[in-house]
Amino acid sequence: MKCTDFLLIANVTKKQLTPDENLKLFRDYQSRHQRAETAYLYLLFDYEMIDKAGGVSTMSMTLTTLSVFGHCMTLNHASEV
């Protein structure tokens, strides 16, 4: 799966699961699939748990990752309208 696949899943599951359930799910995903880390970080930021994002192991926030966040935030905003 691609990074964007995990982000799409996160965007769906955040509407279906509680924040705790969703974070637990994506914590497990990102421990087994490196590409899921961006989705986990996305959820931490979305749930306003930015302080916990600093504890993520690799934290290599590249411009690509930031652009994916921007894209996801755009998708998120569009789904709320």
* pLDDT tens digits, 24-78: 999 999 889 988 988 888 888 888 776 666 555 444 444 445 556 665 555 555 5
For residue 44, the enclosing domain spans: 3-80
Element (H, E) at 5: helix 3-16
CA distances from 7 to 17, 78 (A): 15, 15
- Cα distance between residue 33 and residue 1, in whole Å: 9
Amino acid at 47: Y
- State whether residue 79 is helix, strand or coil: helix
Task: Indicate whether 2 pLDDT > 70.
Answer: yes
- Structural domains of the chain, count: 1
Say what the pTM is.
Answer: 0.65
